[in-house]
């Protein structure tokens, strides 16, 4: 099947930051087969997109999808209280079906705002797969591995849980071409150090990514240092942890020089500026990381700590907070920020087939309505990039293709009854929050 997307402004997010005005994009099955000013070949259907902008789908590099059910239930508290008193007691009540419904809700929110791929760390992974399949989104599912009271009984100890997760990955990796998998050790403060070493070894052995929370808070960093292990990142490097393909969520409190460890091992970072700000944990030094050559993507974290999954807000806030903290308006350009949500975000999550509109890449594409005042004036290629970062919003997203298939048309999901899902999620949330 060949679908020609014709006559749009095309922001490629490639290495040259090329913008075509106008441009054509040909989708053949699940891949992009042509990008250029004018396509002259054959096609099965043509979609005229004058007044629209095409770009790669946004990549949410870190979230916990089922926690949409806990939205606003853990506001205005520190991370320790957030986890121990608000979130973990609720998670102890969850079923696989609950997680499925919560993940459906997340996928709806993400797809309608232009996110075509997300990295999910949660439990009840079979439900998470079902949700991704039923909505059409691309998902990197990294089932959580954690040792905390209340969850051990349900999940098993870390070694048992790791075996379960490996089996899950073997069954589901690359299913339909848009289900991807990995291991999700929660954090150094919820797992023994030996467990982290073993999980990383298993991931490397099976060529799977490792998705982990690292040095999210100053308290976490100081507690680790107090054990005489030095830098968290340094100790993990010494243990061989970064020999696997690691996605480090947060990294707010990395120490001087840790960024070079990340760069040396091609570790990706999921920067979650709004969640970090809301929890009061600080601002990750992403300018330092980017300067060292670290691949940094953007994540929302969960709807319980954000409180939405709107990556456009992260895309704008990330450069703004970096400029404010450094008191330097030159740090984190609009081009860099847009890459973090697309091309660089893809590299950060260890995927080489998404994040760019180019021949041979997966056809994960979004179309924005730019016939509106927020996109004027637009006389140069860079205008479009800057408008996307500082002016665009989720309501501009009208059409979404994932893996070559159209999943959102005129702002409406094509594969799922949105109203019915919202109704069902409301019932589940009410039951979970009773008492």
Q: Assign domain 58-348 to its CATH architecture.
A: Alpha-Beta Barrel (3.20)
* pLDDT at residue 10, rounded to an integer: 98
Q: What is the spatial distance between Cα 337 and Cα 323, in angstroms, rounded to a whole number?
A: 12
* pLDDT at residue 90, rounded to an integer: 85
* pLDDT at residue 228, rounded to an integer: 67
Q: What is the spatial distance between Cα 269 and Cα 344, in angstroms, rounded to a whole number?
A: 10
* pLDDT at residue 433, rounded to an integer: 84
* pLDDT at residue 223, rounded to an integer: 80
Place of tokens 């075996």: 163
Regions in the chain scoring below 50 on pLDDT: none
Q: What is the spatial distance between Cα 84 and Cα 75, in angstroms, rounded to a whole number?
A: 13
β-sheet bridge partners, residue 268: 247, 295
Q: What is the spatial distance between Cα 29 and Cα 363, in angstroms, rounded to a whole number?
A: 8
Q: Which CATH superfamily is domain 2-56+354-413 in?
A: Urease, subunit C, domain 1 (2.30.40.10)
Place of tokens 């009271």: 149
Q: Per-domain residue ranges for the chain? A: 2-56+354-413, 58-348
The residue ranges of DSSP E strands in 163-227, in sequence order, are: 179-181, 184-185, 209-214
Pairing, β 184-185 against β 209-214: unpaired
Give SS3 for 229.
coil
Q: For residue 153, how many other CB atoms are within 10 A of its CB?
A: 8
* pLDDT at residue 114, rounded to an integer: 98
Q: What is the spatial distance between Cα 124 and Cα 127, in angstroms, rounded to a whole number?
A: 6
Domains 2-56+354-413 and 58-348 share a fold: no
Contact (Cβ atoms closer than 8 angstroms) between residue 363 and residue 30: yes
């Amino acid at each position: 099947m060949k679908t020609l997307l014709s006559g749009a402004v095309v922001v490629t997010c490639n290495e040259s930051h090329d913008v075509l005005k106008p441009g054509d994009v040909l989708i053949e099955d699940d891949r992009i087969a042509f990008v250029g000013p004018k396509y002259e070949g054959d096609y099965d259907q043509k979609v005229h997109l004058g007044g629209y902008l095409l770009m790669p789908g946004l990549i949410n590099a870190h979230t916990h999808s089922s926690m949409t059910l806990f939205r606003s239930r853990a506001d205005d508290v520190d991370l320790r209280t957030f986890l121990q008193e608000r979130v973990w007691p609720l998670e102890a009540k969850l079923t696989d079906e609950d997680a499925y419904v919560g993940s459906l809700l997340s996928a709806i929110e993400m797809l309608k705002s232009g996110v075509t791929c997300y990295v999910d760390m949660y439990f009840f992974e079979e439900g998470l797969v079902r949700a991704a399949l039923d909505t059409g989104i691309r998902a990197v599912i990294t089932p959580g591995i954690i040792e905390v009271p209340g969850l051990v009984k349900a999940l098993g100890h870390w070694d048992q849980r790791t075996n379960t997760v490996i089996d899950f990955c073997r069954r589901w990796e690359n299913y339909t071409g848009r289900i991807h998998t990995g291991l999700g050790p929660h954090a150094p403060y919820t797992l023994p150090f030996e467990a982290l070493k073993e999980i990383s070894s298993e991931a490397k052995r099976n060529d799977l990514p490792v998705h982990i929370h690292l040095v999210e808070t100053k308290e976490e960093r100081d507690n680790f240092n107090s054990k005489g292990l030095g830098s968290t990142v340094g100790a993990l490097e010494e243990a061989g942890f970064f020999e696997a393909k690691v996605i480090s969520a947060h990294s707010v409190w990395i120490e001087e020089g840790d960024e070079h460890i990340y760069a040396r091992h091609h570790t990706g970072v999921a920067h979650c500026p709004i969640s970090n700000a809301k929890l009061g944990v600080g601002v990750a030094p992403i300018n330092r990381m980017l300067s060292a050559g670290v691949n940094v993507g953007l994540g929302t974290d969960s709807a319980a700590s954000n409180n939405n999954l709107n990556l456009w807000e992260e895309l704008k806030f990330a450069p703004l907070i970096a400029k404010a903290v450094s008191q330097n308006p030159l740090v984190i350009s609009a081009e860099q920020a847009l890459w973090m949500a697309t091309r660089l975000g893809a590299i950060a999550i260890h995927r080489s087939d998404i994040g760019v509109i180019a021949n041979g890449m997966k056809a994960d594409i979004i179309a924005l309505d730019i016939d509106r005042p927020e996109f004027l004036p637009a006389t140069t290629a860079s205008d479009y990039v800057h408008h996307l970062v500082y002016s665009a919003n989720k309501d501009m997203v009208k059409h979404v293709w994932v893996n070559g298939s159209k999943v959102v048309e005129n702002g409406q999901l094509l594969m799922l009854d949105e109203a019915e899902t919202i109704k069902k999620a409301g019932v589940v949330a009410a039951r979970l929050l009773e008492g």
